[in-house]
Amino acid sequence: MSANSKSASAGKNVILSSVRDTLRGAGQVMFQESAWTGLLFLAGIFWGSYECHLPQVAWGAVVGLIVSTLSGYLVDDRDGSGPQGLWGFNGILVGCAFPTFMANTWQMWLALVICAAATTWVRRGLNNVMGRWGVTSYTFPFVLLTWIFLLASRQFSALGPVTLSAPELTEAVPGAIDTSFVSLVIYWLKGIAQVFLVDSWVTGIFFLVALAVCSVRAAIWAGIGSAVALGTAFLFQGNTADIAAGLYGFSPVLTAIAVGATFYKSNYRSALWALVATVVTVFLQAGMNAFMAPLGIPTLTGPFCIATWLFMLEAYKFSGKKQHAQASVKK
Amino acid sequence: MSANSKSASAGKNVILSSVRDTLRGAGQVMFQESAWTGLLFLAGIFWGSYECHLPQVAWGAVVGLIVSTLSGYLVDDRDGSGPQGLWGFNGILVGCAFPTFMANTWQMWLALVICAAATTWVRRGLNNVMGRWGVTSYTFPFVLLTWIFLLASRQFSALGPVTLSAPELTEAVPGAIDTSFVSLVIYWLKGIAQVFLVDSWVTGIFFLVALAVCSVRAAIWAGIGSAVALGTAFLFQGNTADIAAGLYGFSPVLTAIAVGATFYKSNYRSALWALVATVVTVFLQAGMNAFMAPLGIPTLTGPFCIATWLFMLEAYKFSGKKQHAQASVKK
Amino acid sequence: MSANSKSASAGKNVILSSVRDTLRGAGQVMFQESAWTGLLFLAGIFWGSYECHLPQVAWGAVVGLIVSTLSGYLVDDRDGSGPQGLWGFNGILVGCAFPTFMANTWQMWLALVICAAATTWVRRGLNNVMGRWGVTSYTFPFVLLTWIFLLASRQFSALGPVTLSAPELTEAVPGAIDTSFVSLVIYWLKGIAQVFLVDSWVTGIFFLVALAVCSVRAAIWAGIGSAVALGTAFLFQGNTADIAAGLYGFSPVLTAIAVGATFYKSNYRSALWALVATVVTVFLQAGMNAFMAPLGIPTLTGPFCIATWLFMLEAYKFSGKKQHAQASVKK
């Protein structure tokens, strides 16, 4: 083999591994260190955002994913976060959220780039703090920074929050809701799709398949999480518009995957623990909705982060803990 | 002695010690590791809640206390928290708060059970974090989780927040207030009774006696705390309806017992320190009232937790620290 | 030399060093351990507050500075914080803020004294916590305690918040703004003056000179910080009234001095890092304005604290860290 073809092959390998690390960033949103899962997530986002006539959301996801991965290469070359896809999962969520809630201006895209890049070092900073107690920041860098920029959009006209709900002291009264079996399945699938802020049941199927490609257990727990959220929301008579759009589901889905399929070994004790955590996440979702109402911003995946901290901090020991890239900080 | 009677006696002992540990949980709300204090607290709660025609508050206290103690036996058998009554004090407060602020539906009772059980592991989790700095979570597991469920009740019709005040941007203008000596004594006693959310001066007497049974010093500081709160609220012309209901008093009472009679040795320096902490708690109470107004939820004992952290974190060293079950986390 | 004149000379020295330590407290607001900088800061505050017909702000600054320094002598004699001016910088800001936002009553002055004194031990407490991650509390003791007292002033009529803006759900619509060169310079200088809550461009000149006396680099970064804030606010079309009053500038000015001229060695990498941190601070300023709107209280220097934590926690390592009194906690 000539030196030339060797270097060409090495170059090709670098490109391939960069693409793989980037796509794993998409997969890590639901804790899967798999480029194929990430690719299918992206496919689901493209399907859903074009279906909803919001193509900018899909392209935002791509931009956010790439920018935050690049930011990781620049400021965070000190451990194995990159190959595990830990740079991109906050950035892709920033990329989904910005065009969903703000106007499609060039300033919005500039803000998206700044915010997606910042998730990398904010993640490291928060993990430096939280790592001492066996938890990490999960998607909180995305949540915190996006809250800041969405709030800022109320003062910065150029970010024009066209689709942010108006601040209000009390929520609208819930109305009637279709409870046919088909409707319930649609709400259930949307609960999974809303993890990436997509309001499409087809996207929910994409995501379940994407999870199953890497971990059937994760796919099952995603399904359980959305179902438990749906049941709890009906039992306590939640806001029907939110139920129908899957908005009670996305945080419990993440909690269920995290506690049920990621951080603990599989047994009946950890399963019970995951179920309780999932139910508490639904109350956190409703409570944070009410907390955010006067501010007019969404909770994002904040309820998942808080619920998972409350349950992981306790370091429940009856079932063994598993190793996972997002489980703890490297020393 | 036959083996039979031995085992019967052992069984009797287990029951007795369980009852004792449970009642100590009530006592620990005001830092007293005494079943008798706990029993008198419960008596005061029953008296006050029946006087106010809210019997469900008293029964909620019993349910919350038992559920959180059971939850402790299930998930927290690794240290001596149980015999010290550290499982129940958050649960009993959850049990007082839920029927006070939410509708008397079966869903409310289900939520009460979930929330009371969760206080046990949330307490452990928060103490894992805070223990590094010589403070613990005090009643904050109750405060945090109850805030979440009360906020959720705005979205969940089945929890129907009938007695939660409406969210508002500005508080009502204070009116005239009776300042006769008898009235002042009533406000002062209610400030103590409101630690368990009871609006009855008779209950305040119950609580003072309950404290004195275990620690005269604690009873005296409870009285000082409520008096200082009353004086400060008058001096700075606080909301008169809140003054009359003892609502400026309950957090300062807890701060006064914690800093004045629990965590430091008794001397004039620690007494001065406790007085300053108590005054600051009154400002925290007023400030948090204003913070919570747009959300329409009460501060609960949050002002006490925050004030005590601010004063205990400093680890004031001029007077020695005392050992107390709630002072630090066992390693 | 006789014993008498020796003791007189020693007494004179104690007075001089006390005055020096006190004035350094003013200087440390912008990280300068210099009594001359502190004196010029005070001169700027006096000029501006008399120009704005609010002399009580200047005298409040003096009272707050002295009270918090005395409080340091009383409760915090365990390390070298005093001679470095670390007791006074929170207290002087409390002294500027209280008469700016509250009524000029004797109760306000009493509250000012309590709050300024409390900054000393709250600072120690927060530093005990934060010191573990290489950051300190910066001006957050002032921010946290002043938020509490300003919120409390909504309940305590005697503190009558005459100049606090009314709580509101949405901010006023921005209007036209003069963008002549002279006006831009005035906005830019006011951005620096507002660090001490003074709305006067002359005061901005005082502050730049005061910084240059101790560190030309700090003065340059203060200028860069205010300019970057102005540019960002224009680019994203911020609230024009806030732009004109320099209200987007004061937090970015502090971030720029902290990250650009205080905590890192000077090189192009740390300069880039400081610029990004400064831009993010502008979004934090706008976002926190929106967050605070329903509460009707100002952000104070909260955006600076949060931005600097987010950037310092990451412990950016490409350029070396410098030693500074506010950089870390002594063990």
- For position A1, what pLDDT does the model report? 46
Element (H, E) at C213: helix C201-214
Query: Is the CB of A286 less than 8 angstroms away from the CB of B155?
Result: yes
Q: Quickly list DSSP for B109-120.
A: HHHHHHHHHHHH
- Read off the tokens for A272: 């019970």
**Can you tell me whether residue A173 is helix, strand or coil?**
coil
Whether B321 maps to a domain, the answer reads no
Quick check: A177 and A243 in contact, CB under 8 A? yes
Query: Is the CB of B148 less than 8 angstroms away from the CB of A284?
Result: yes
Q: For A274-288, give one letter per residue: b (16+ CB within 10 A) or e.
A: bbbbbbbbbbbbbbb
Distances (CA, A) of A149 to A232, A266, C274, C287: 32, 39, 19, 6
Position of tokens 């971990």? A215
CA-to-CA distance for C283 and C303, rounded, in angstroms? 9
> Looking at chain A, which residue has its C-alpha nearest residue C172?
A155
Would you list which residues of chain A are within 8 Å, Cβ to Cβ, of chain B? 132-133, 169-171, 174, 233, 235-239, 242, 276, 279-280, 283-284, 286-291, 294, 309-318
CA-to-CA distance for C240 and C224, rounded, in angstroms? 20
CA-to-CA distance for C29 and C35, rounded, in angstroms? 12
- For position A145, what pLDDT does the model report? 97
Quick check: A172 and A331 in contact, CB under 8 A? no
Distances (CA, A) of C6 to B70, C18, C20: 72, 18, 21
Q: Would you say how long chain C is, in residues? A: 331
CA-to-CA distance for C192 and C225, rounded, in angstroms? 9
Q: How many domains is chain C partitioned into structurally? A: 1
CA-to-CA distance for A107 and A158, rounded, in angstroms? 6
CA-to-CA distance for C179 and C243, rounded, in angstroms? 11
Residue A246 has pLDDT above 60, yes or no: yes
Whether B286 maps to a domain, the answer reads yes
Set of chain B residues whose Cβ sits within 8 Å of the Cβ of A314: 75, 121-122, 124-125, 128
Whether B2 maps to a domain, the answer reads no
**Can you tell me whether residue B32 is helix, strand or coil?**
coil
- For position B1, what pLDDT does the model report? 46
CA-to-CA distance for C172 and A155, rounded, in angstroms? 9
Angle between helices C201-214 and C35-51 (to 10 degrees): 180
Position of tokens 């001596």? B80
Distances (CA, A) of B44 to B51, B61, B203, B206: 10, 11, 5, 5
- Partner residue facing B310 (CB), from C125, C147, C169: C125
- Read off the tokens for B170: 């500005």
**Quick one: pLDDT band at residue A321, thresholds 50, 70, 90?**
low
- Read off the tokens for C303: 């955006």
- For position C331, what pLDDT does the model report? 39
Whether C10 maps to a domain, the answer reads no
- For position B2, what pLDDT does the model report? 55
Position of tokens 């910080």? C225
Whether B76 maps to a domain, the answer reads yes
State the average pLDDT over residues B312-325.
Answer: 66
Residue C178 has pLDDT above 50, yes or no: yes
Please list the alpha-helical segments (H only) found in chain B.
3-27, 35-51, 55-75, 88-101, 106-130, 140-152, 181-193, 201-214, 216-235, 240-244, 250-255, 261, 268-292, 302-312
Residue partners of C34: CB distance under 8 A and separation at least 6: C24, C27, C213, C214
Quick check: C131 and C125 in contact, CB under 8 A? no
Q: How many angstroms away from the CA of A128 is the closest CA of chain C?
A: 7
Q: Would you say how long chain B is, in residues? A: 331
State the average pLDDT over residues B239-244.
Answer: 92
Residue B115 has pLDDT above 50, yes or no: yes
Backbone angles phi, psi at A293, to 5 degrees: -55, -45
Please compute Rg for chain C using Cα positions. 19
CA-to-CA distance for C292 and A152, rounded, in angstroms? 12
Whether A84 maps to a domain, the answer reads yes
DSSP 8-state secondary structure symbol assigned to residue B131: G
CA-to-CA distance for A253 and A226, rounded, in angstroms? 5
Query: Is the CB of B156 less than 8 angstroms away from the CB of A279?
Result: no
Quick check: B167 and B290 in contact, CB under 8 A? no
Q: Out of B11-20, B98-107, B119-128, C216-225, pick the least confident.
A: B11-20
Residue C294 has pLDDT above 60, yes or no: yes
Q: Would you say how long chain A is, in residues? A: 331
> Looking at chain C, which residue has its C-alpha nearest residue B130?
C129
Q: What is the ipTM of this complex?
A: 0.91
Set of chain B residues whose Cβ sits within 8 Å of the Cβ of A278: none
Which CATH number covers residue A232?
A: 1.10.3430.10
Q: How many angstroms away from the CA of A165 is the closest CA of chain B?
A: 16
- For position C3, what pLDDT does the model report? 55
Position of tokens 């500074």? C324
CA-to-CA distance for C194 and C199, rounded, in angstroms? 6
Quick check: B321 and B271 in contact, CB under 8 A? no
**Quick one: pLDDT band at residue B312, thresholds 50, 70, 90?**
confident
Counting one residue from chain B and one from chain C, the pairs whose CB atoms sit within 8 A come to: 96
CA-to-CA distance for C61 and A196, rounded, in angstroms? 50
- For position B317, what pLDDT does the model report? 56
Quick check: A118 and A145 in contact, CB under 8 A? yes
Nearest to C229 by CA among C219, C220, C238: C238
Residue B289 has pLDDT above 90, yes or no: yes
Element (H, E) at C11: helix C3-27
Please list the alpha-helical segments (H only) found in chain A.
3-27, 35-51, 55-75, 88-101, 106-130, 140-152, 181-193, 201-214, 216-235, 240-244, 250-255, 268-292, 302-312
Please compute Rg for chain B using Cα positions. 19
Residue partners of B171: CB distance under 8 A and separation at least 6: B239, B289, B290, B293, C154, C155
Whether B328 maps to a domain, the answer reads no
Interface residue of A132, A165, A236, A243 to substitute, partner B, most B CBs within 10 Å: A236
**Quick one: pLDDT band at residue C202, thresholds 50, 70, 90?**
very high
- Mind listing the pLDDT tens digit for each residue in A151-200? 999 889 898 866 777 787 766 566 788 899 999 999 999 999 999 999 99
- Going B54 to B56 to B57 to B59, the CA torsion angle's sign is positive
> Looking at chain B, which residue has its C-alpha nearest residue A269?
B75
**Quick one: pLDDT band at residue B167, thresholds 50, 70, 90?**
confident
- Partner residue facing C279 (CB), from A114, A155, A158: A114
Q: Out of A43-47, B162-166, B276-280, pick the least confident.
A: B162-166
> Looking at chain C, which residue has its C-alpha nearest residue B238?
C156
Nearest to B192 by CA among B178, B182, B205: B205
* Residue type at position A129: V
- Mind listing the pLDDT tens digit for each residue in A258-309? 999 998 888 888 899 999 999 999 999 999 999 998 898 999 999 999 999 9
Q: Mean pLDDT over all residues of chain B?
A: 89
Nearest to C65 by CA among C142, C10, C12: C142
CA-to-CA distance for A269 and A248, rounded, in angstroms? 25
- Partner residue facing A287 (CB), from B129, B152, B167: B152
Residue partners of C83: CB distance under 8 A and separation at least 6: C17, C20, C21, C24
- Read off the tokens for C141: 């003791």
Measured in Å, how far apart are chain C's first and last C-alpha atoms?
A: 41
CA-to-CA distance for C127 and C133, rounded, in angstroms? 10
CA-to-CA distance for A29 and A11, rounded, in angstroms? 28
CA-to-CA distance for A121 and C277, rounded, in angstroms? 11
- For position A4, what pLDDT does the model report? 60
Backbone angles phi, psi at A248, to 5 degrees: -85, -10
* Residue type at position A48: G
Neighbours of chain A (3+ CB pairs under 8 A): B, C
Q: Mean pLDDT over all residues of chain C?
A: 89
DSSP 8-state secondary structure symbol assigned to residue A298: -
- Mind listing the pLDDT tens digit for each residue in B117-132? 999 999 988 988 888 8
**Domain range enclosing A294:** 17-312
Q: Out of A16-20, A266-270, B82-86, B241-245, pick the least confident.
A: B82-86
- Read off the tokens for C3: 């014993």
Set of chain A residues whose Cβ sits within 8 Å of the Cβ of B157: 174, 236-238
Neighbours of C265 (CB within 10 A): 10
